[in-house]
Amino acid sequence: MTCTKELRFEWMDALHGAAAILVLIRHYFRIAALGPFAAHIDPGTMGVVAFFCISGYIIPWSVLHAPTTVLQFATARAFRLYPAYWVSLILAVVAAPVAAHVLLANITMAQRFMGVYDVVGVYWTLQIEMMFYAIIAVLMLSGKVADPRASLSCLLGLCVLSILLAIPRAVLSVKTPVAPAFSLVVMFASFVFYHHRHAGFLSAGRLWCLLSGVGAVMVGCFLLAYRKDWGFGETPLRFVLGYAVGVALFILFMRFDIKARALCWLGSISYPLYLIHVPVREIIVGLMPSLGEIPSALLGIPATIALAVVIHRGVELPFNRLGKRWIARYRAPRLKAEPEAIPLD
């Protein structure tokens, strides 16, 4: 997507670009090596949370502003996500071959639901996107997707689920899957905010009280779920800061309508960039194992951007157009041009 006057959310593409930069920083530089407090700073979490905020806002917009059935919605999302994803999977297997059953599971993008690990670590966010789409599809089938009370009920239910998953981690040292619940809370908070802005749902004061309460619940969940390190340098402060900055970026870009051209351009390729930056890094490290962190970044980041441009133009855009043409054959109204949601993301 490019920044044009035809689209309503130009700031969102710029935010995609900013979030992509944060994710690149996370995987190309060792932030924790900069000092004790730096261990609590995770640019990757900040970027991913910003991506989740975008999805929670733009997916309802796309559903509510075009005549869409569940099948058409699923088809549009599949054409949007899978082609570039499969290209990144090929790169990942080139970087580090995997067993056939692992590859086959990853092809579906539902590997975690099958108990199979992600070939590329960042794929976990795509499966959370799929969970969000599934809930949206249920709301569509029940005729509730336009009802603000339904999105509010989902938000409150996910807050309860987050608490129920966080407590066993703290009390029983059981590694429950808290990340999907925490991420979906962010997405549905953004969905409720969408209803506030576009349907007048809740007064500004009530919305502030609601979202403040949700934030307090999430802080409590972080304290419970990450009171011990589960092997990835996790601390409560790291997640509090990561989620707070990600949400703040979403609000700032929206409030001040930030749409810098460079960020917009980077945002247009942010989905393939997000998918391939780790495989590209691994290929470079495999070819030149003695290369240091800074030289690897100076070589890997431009290479990632260049390849993302190729995938965007040669794979992502053609399949997006193909998907819209395919859907248009089976209904009278054509798909409207819409901003694309990225899972990163």
Number of CB atoms found within 10 A of residue 169's CB: 19
Residue 151 has pLDDT above 90, yes or no: yes
Closest among 139, 160, 162 to 151, alpha carbons compared: 139
- Residue 176 is given by DSSP the state -
Contact 124, 232 (CB under 8 A): no
The mean pLDDT of 119-126, rounded to a whole number, is 98
Task: Report residue 345's pLDDT band, with 50, 70 and 90 as the boundaries.
Answer: very low
Average pLDDT value over all residues in the chain: 92
Q: What is the pLDDT of residue 139?
A: 97
- Residue 66 is given by DSSP the state S
Whole-angstrom Cα distance, residue 50 to residue 15? 8
Q: Any idea which of 131-140, 188-197, 327-336 has the lowest mean pLDDT? A: 327-336
Residue 206 has pLDDT above 50, yes or no: yes
pLDDT tens by residue, 323-333: 999 988 876 44
Q: What is the pLDDT of residue 8?
A: 54
Residue 160 has pLDDT above 70, yes or no: yes
The mean pLDDT of 169-190, rounded to a whole number, is 97
Number of CB atoms found within 10 A of residue 114's CB: 12
Whole-angstrom Cα distance, residue 307 to residue 301? 10
pLDDT tens by residue, 24-79: 999 999 887 777 888 899 999 999 999 999 999 999 999 998 878 999 999 999 99
Selected residue with higher pLDDT from 124 and 9: 124
Q: What is the pLDDT of residue 33?
A: 73
The span from the first CA to the last CA of the chain, in angstroms, equals 14
Q: What is the pLDDT of residue 194?
A: 97
To the nearest 5 percent, what fractions of the chain are helix, strand and coil? 75, 0, 25
Angstrom CA distances, 153 to 2, 138, 148, 156, stand at 34, 13, 9, 5
Q: What is the pLDDT of residue 153?
A: 98
Q: Any idea which of 49-58, 128-137, 184-193, 336-345 has the lowest mean pLDDT? A: 336-345
Whole-angstrom Cα distance, residue 133 to residue 210? 24
User: Measured at the alpha carbon of residue 72, what is the angle toward residues 67 and 76, in degrees to the nearest 5?
Assistant: 110
